[in-house]
Amino acid sequence: MGAQWKHAGQQANALKRGAMISKLIKEIIVAAKSGDPHPENNARLRVAVEVARKSSVPRDNIERALKRAQGLLDPVTYETVMYEGFAPHNVAVIVECLTDNKNRTAADVRVLFRKGQLGSIGAVTWMFDYQGVIEATHTDKNLDSEGAAIEAGAQNVEPIEATEETKGLLAARFFCDVKDLDSASKYLSANGWTVTMSEMSYTAKNLLEIADEEKRKEVVEFLNDLDDNDDVHRVYAALK
């Protein structure tokens, strides 16, 4: 859980579908503005569009988001705002927000952190590495993922726990320098890997293990509450 916090069951919850679509559309717009506005030339954008399609985001919504990012429709501007602090029981947390109203977001985050401790900028970032993270699957379960990592220019690779979606596949998470994210993603895509995530991410240097079930439940509920906020784009937690 040291990379992006994953909301348990979020995509399967119909009540959260509207919020999920909104976040996916925001990611498309920001990804398009952060690099080349064409998916074939922008790994982050290409993955954002693919994830949106797999999540059944209407094609019209995706096309409008791309046009807005390219200035072909009424423009929308989202600012990235970062917050740092601690979840209950001293779990370091970084919260990345995409917002069109920083005052609203700041007020919401302060409320959400009442059960934790909101810190100043730099309070916990030293506990994380900022790097490129790629999640990908391959149909050949016997493939040497470490060899693929070396060829792609990644520094490290780790297996991803199997899910229903990755059943029967080789699933791996690759870590690389931020500057190598696009080239590493393109290499994997060109060599039989299906890239499901490609982003700049904060990865905890050390993960805190909480054995007590009640305490862990408190932390998970806190992280889920953060993730549910419309302006919160990603949550990174140093939780094992």
Provide the residue-wise pLDDT of the chain in tens; the chain has 240 residues. 455 656 444 444 444 677 888 899 999 999 988 888 888 888 889 889 999 998 899 999 999 999 988 888 887 888 899 999 999 999 999 999 999 999 999 999 999 999 999 999 999 999 999 999 999 999 999 999 999 999 999 999 999 988 888 889 999 999 999 999 989 999 999 999 999 888 899 999 999 999 999 999 999 999 999 999 999 999 999 999
Q: Which two tokens stand for residue 173?
A: 């998470």
Pick the CATH number of 10-69 from 3.90.550.10, 3.40.1580.10, 1.10.10.200, 3.40.50.11720: 1.10.10.200
Overall CATH class of domain 129-204: alpha beta
Domain with CATH 3.30.70.980 in the chain: 79-127+205-237, 129-204
Contact 138, 149 (CB under 8 A): no
What is the 3-class SS of 160-182, one letter each residue?
CCCCCCCCCCEEEEEEECHHHHH
Domain with CATH 1.10.10.200 in the chain: 10-69
* CA–CA dist 76, 163 (Å, integer): 36
Count CA atoms closer than 13 A to 13's CA, side-chain side.
Answer: 10
Q: Rounded to whole angstroms, what are the CA distances from 114 to 108, 182, 186?
A: 10, 38, 42
* CA–CA dist 96, 159 (Å, integer): 25
SS3 55: coil
Range 79-127+205-237 has CATH code 1.10.10.10 = no
Q: What is the pTM of this model?
A: 0.87
